[in-house]
Structure 1
Amino acid sequence: MDNQLAQSYAWLNRLTIIIMAVMLVIGFGILGIYWQRSADPYAYQVLTLDGDPQNGLAIFQINCAGCHNLQVERSVGPRLENISKRKSSRNIITQVTSGRTPPMPKFQPSKKEMADLLSYLNTL
């Protein structure tokens, strides 16, 4: 009986160590992704600029309004009202420049254009 109890504790200790190791690996993975995203020099430089919402509106109308039409209920892309409350500026920059959700194309605005676009999106 004591041998079975000792084996149960040994098994429990191994399981605990495995779970802790997996959690540590996941934690470091998430931290690595965060560090990689925060180290993006383009996003960092965009966020240091003051954007002009009027220029941002022009950029939006030329590049975004075809899919993100604000007047129509149905469009290709999602509605962008209150987008700055739902997504961080850094996530918006990543979405715009990577086009990671098809059918959105990659868009490579200059740093100033991206700052202007963010400024406009903050007004929605």
Structure 2
Amino acid sequence: MLLVVAILVVIPLALFGVQMIQASDPYVKNVLTQPGDPIQGKAIFQINCAGCHGWEGNGLVGPSLQAVSKRKSRYGLIHQVISGETPPMPKFQPSPQEMADLLSYLENL
């Protein structure tokens, strides 16, 4: 019983800690404070992402990104784009405004 209580306390605290680290990243903070323009985001997507994810994000070589914002948090999407941790997806370094625009577009897929 004590183990269950400890787990119920530790998990929320760990999640809160991860969110605090994410929120303290200056790039992420900057992106999340920018108003995103989905029209600009679509242009960025079509230039940089459509070759693998399809013209409308339906998937080709890369997975479909339809409703991706329901599967990943805003931080998760930012991290996915800029990290280069999932080959063959390249590391992409958009400006904070470009990333905000791309997020806005992805949230509308």
TM bucket normalised to smaller: 0.7 to 0.9
Gaps of 5+ in 1: 1-19
Query: In 2, Cα distance between the equivalents of 1:105 and 1:34?
Result: 25
**Offset of 1:29 from its aligned partner?**
6.3
The equivalent of 2:106 in structure 1 is 121
The residue number in structure 2 matching 1:76 is: 61
| 2:49 aligned partner | 64
Deviation at 1:90, TM superposition (A): 0.9
User: 1:23-62 counterparts in 2 under 5 A?
Assistant: 32-62=17-47
Partner Cα separation in structure 2 for residue 71 and residue 116 of structure 1: 16
Q: CA deviation at 1:31?
A: 5.4
Match of 1:7 in 2: none
Q: How many residues align?
A: 109
1:111 to 96, 100, 107: 96
2:108 alignment partner AA: T
The residue identity in structure 2 corresponding to 1:99 is: G
SS, match of residue 50 in structure 1? coil
Q: What TM-score comes out, normalization by structure 2 length?
A: 0.80
Structure 2 residue identity aligned to 1:54 = I
CA distance in 1, matches of 2:67, 2:58: 15
- 2:57, 2:70 → 1: CA distance? 21
Say whether 1:87 aligns with 2:72: yes
Deviation of 1:77 (Å):
1.1
Distance 1:25 1:103, change over 3 A: same
Deviates more, 1:57-66 or 1:29-38: 29-38
Letter in 2 for 1:43: V
In structure 2, the gaps of 5 or more residues are none
- From the CA coordinates, give the structure whose radius of gyration is larger: 1
Q: Which residue of 2 aligns with 1:6?
A: none
